[in-house]
């Protein structure tokens, strides 16, 4: 979609690619909508340059200056004025990925710099990294200077080298979920459990600072526990034994073997269709998807309200603005 919008491919090639993609088992029609949003964001970004930027898609970048045998793929690189922008499209809707000092994006930006510096030299002064997660409504941007990025690259060289040689220190963190040893790694287990022990030593009530730490550590602990559970189940299913644990059959719910035949049988037995079927409208989101956002807004937009959401805890770095309880208390007063 983005390549089509930027005239990097012809409509016929785009249609053929979509036709092929639709035969893939993972295809979902929602992908067209998210690709459209991604393309729109890129278009807005391109328009923000004073002069038309150079734009390229799906570029392999060489990271071997920093990580032995390292490489990566940049979804989109824009280069214009004095700025290099790299954008990463993420289709997942699990966790919003932060762009701020994101090491993967910084590495890709270093790879992109290596690619374009021979042509553009020191005219590239600023770096912008963007992470677009349309399914989460998350679009994160982070800036630094080329100088800062290069200095960071130098600082990680020895660490990457050590890790590559197998001499690095284990450091557990949110990144563990992407590691093949997630849930199996002793260093990760030690660091997770010691975080809990630190709190257990203190018998008083938690202070606000400790609550902040507990919320962060607790989240990591819960993710680690889930990974250990998955690993334990995998081992038990392979026939290995784990003291005090076994595999049982999970809860299951009844389902029709043939729903149509069952309903026909009930109708034949004299039950009215009104007893068997509910007639309910599609949800707002389903209708918007079926009709198209613009037409939907034109015809039905006046009937849509968005009530204030319930207060929910979020990290200070969350892009949503802070909940204003006073505004909510007085919301219904003229």
Q: What are phi and psi of 192, to 5 degrees?
A: -65, -45
Nearest approach in angstroms of CB 316 to ligand SF4 is: 25
- The only residue of 176, 192, 220, 288 in contact with ligand SF4, by rule CB under 6 A: 176
Nearest approach in angstroms of CB 61 to ligand SF4 is: 23
The sign of the CA dihedral 178, 157, 133, 142 is positive
Site string for ligand SF4, 180-199 (x = CB under 6 A): -xx--x-xx-----------
Which residue lies nearer to ligand SF4 by CB, 75 or 220? 220
140 - beta bridge partners? 131
Which residue lies nearer to ligand SF4 by CB, 156 or 179? 179
Q: Which residue, chain included where needed, has tokens 């299913």?
A: 237
Nearest approach in angstroms of CB 234 to ligand SF4 is: 16
Q: Which two tokens stand for residue 18?
A: 């979509």
Nearest approach in angstroms of CB 228 to ligand SF4 is: 11
Q: Which two tokens stand for residue 40?
A: 């729109």
| DSSP single-letter state for residue 133 | E
Which residue lies nearer to ligand SF4 by CB, 117 or 177? 177
Is residue 127 a contact residue for ligand SF4 (CB under 6 A)? no
Is residue 179 a contact residue for ligand SF4 (CB under 6 A)? yes
Tell me if 72 sits within 8 A of 111, measured CB to CB: yes
Which residue lies nearer to ligand SF4 by CB, 5 or 177? 177
Instruction: For residue 45, give every residue at least 6 positions away whose Cβ sits within 8 Å of its Cβ, in sequence order, or none.
Output: 78, 85, 87, 130
Site string for ligand SF4, 156-175 (x = CB under 6 A): --------------xxx--x
Which residue lies nearer to ligand SF4 by CB, 189 or 214? 189
Which residue lies nearer to ligand SF4 by CB, 178 or 279? 178
Which string of DSSP letters, residue by residue, matches 153-174?
Answer: HHHHHHHHHHHHHT-PPP--SG
Site string for ligand SF4, 198-237 (x = CB under 6 A): ----------------------------------------
Angle at 50 between CA 103 and CA 105, to 5 degrees: 5
Q: Are strands 126-133 and 54-62 parallel, antiparallel or unpaired?
A: unpaired
Q: For residues 176 and 188, what is the distance between their CA atoms, to the nearest angstrom?
A: 8
Which residue lies nearer to ligand SF4 by CB, 57 or 231? 231
Nearest approach in angstroms of CB 28 to ligand SF4 is: 31
Q: For residues 113 and 265, what is the distance between their CA atoms, to the nearest angstrom?
A: 68
Nearest approach in angstroms of CB 107 to ligand SF4 is: 16
36 - beta bridge partners? none
Which spans of this chain sit near ligand SF4 (rule: CB under 6 A)?
170-172, 175-176, 179, 181-182, 185, 187-188
């Amino acid at each position: 979609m983005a390549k089509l919008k930027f005239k990097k491919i012809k409509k016929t090639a785009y249609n053929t690619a979509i036709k092929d993609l639709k035969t893939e088992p993972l295809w979902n029609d929602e992908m067209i909508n998210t690709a459209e949003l991604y393309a729109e964001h890129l278009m807005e970004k391109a328009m923000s340059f004073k002069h038309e930027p150079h734009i390229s898609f799906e570029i392999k970048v060489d990271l071997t200056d920093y990580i032995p045998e390292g490489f990566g793929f940049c979804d989109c690189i824009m280069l214009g004025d004095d700025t290099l922008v790299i954008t990463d499209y993420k289709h997942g809707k699990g966790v919003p990925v932060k762009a701020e000092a994101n090491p993967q994006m910084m590495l890709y930006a270093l790879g992109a710099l290596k690619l374009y510096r021979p042509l553009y030299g020191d005219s590239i002064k600023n770096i912008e990294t963007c992470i677009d997660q349309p399914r989460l409504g998350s679009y994160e941007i982070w800036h630094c200077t080329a100088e800062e990025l290069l200095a960071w690259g130098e600082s990680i060289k020895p660490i990457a080298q050590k890790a590559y040689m197998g001499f690095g220190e284990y450091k557990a963190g949110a990144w563990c979920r992407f590691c093949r040893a997630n849930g199996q790694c002793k260093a990760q287990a030690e660091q997770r459990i010691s975080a809990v022990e630190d709190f257990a030593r203190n018998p008083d009530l938690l202070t606000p600072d400790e609550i902040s730490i507990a919320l962060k550590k607790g989240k990591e602990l819960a993710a680690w526990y889930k990974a250990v559970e998955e690993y334990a189940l995998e081992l038990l299913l392979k026939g290995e034994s784990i003291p005090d644990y076994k595999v049982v059959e999970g809860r299951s719910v009844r389902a029709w073997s043939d729903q149509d035949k069952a309903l026909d049988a009930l109708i034949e037995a004299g039950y009215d269709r009104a007893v068997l079927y509910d007639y309910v409208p599609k949800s707002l989101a389903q209708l918007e998807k079926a009709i198209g956002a613009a037409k939907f807004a034109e015809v039905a937009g006046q009937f849509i309200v968005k009530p204030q959401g319930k207060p929910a805890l979020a990290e200070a770095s969350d892009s949503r603005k802070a909940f204003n309880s006073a505004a909510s208390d007085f919301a219904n007063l003229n």
